[in-house]
Amino acid sequence: MAHVLIAEARFYAHLNDMLLEGARTAIEVAGHSHETITVPGALELPGAIALAAESGRFDAYVALGAVIRGETWHFEIVAGESARGLMALTMDGLAVGNGILTIENEAQAIARANPRHANKGGGAAEAALALLTLKNSFS
């Protein structure tokens, strides 16, 4: 049984509630355990996962959050740098599922976060578990 860390950027609480539901359900259905930590925003997710990885307590990681386009370049920076940070962790050998929504508006976010629709939280958890299975197959 794997122990999975769900790291969530709680900036949009109502969206994260849906993402968390999907991720937790996917992990539990697969027969694994999980813990959840919260960080202020998506930019903090890669750092939080890197810190947690140093503990050796977790087998896989799920990053959850939402970045909604606004009127400034901030969207591009947050979306790009959070994805880059998560990819760097994956390239370093961590099993990380990226569930950070990068969307134009709240309606798009709700459609993707809702576990009964696109279920991106569940998809991110499933991706992390798939990478963990692959990683373990090389051990």
User: What is the set of active-site residues?
Assistant: 74
25 known member of a binding site: no
Other CB atoms within 10 A of residue 57 CB? 10
Token pair, residue 34, equals 């999980």
98 known member of a binding site: yes
43 known member of a binding site: yes
Rounded to 5°, angle at Cα 42 from 38 and 44: 65
Q: How far is CA 117 from CA 17, 92, 111, 122, 132, in A?
A: 14, 32, 6, 11, 25
72 known member of a binding site: yes
Residues in contact with 52: Cβ distance below 8 Å, sequence separation at least 6, in sequence order: 5, 7, 37, 58, 61
48 known member of a binding site: no
Helix (H, G, I), strand (E, B) or coil at 66: strand
Token pair, residue 23, equals 């991720």
57 known member of a binding site: no
Pick out the residues of the known binding site for (2S)-2-hydroxy-3-oxobutyl phosphate. 71-72, 112
Annotated binding residues, as ranges? 11, 42-44, 66-68, 71-72, 98, 112
Known binding-site positions for 5-amino-6-(D-ribitylamino)uracil:
11, 42-44, 66-68, 98
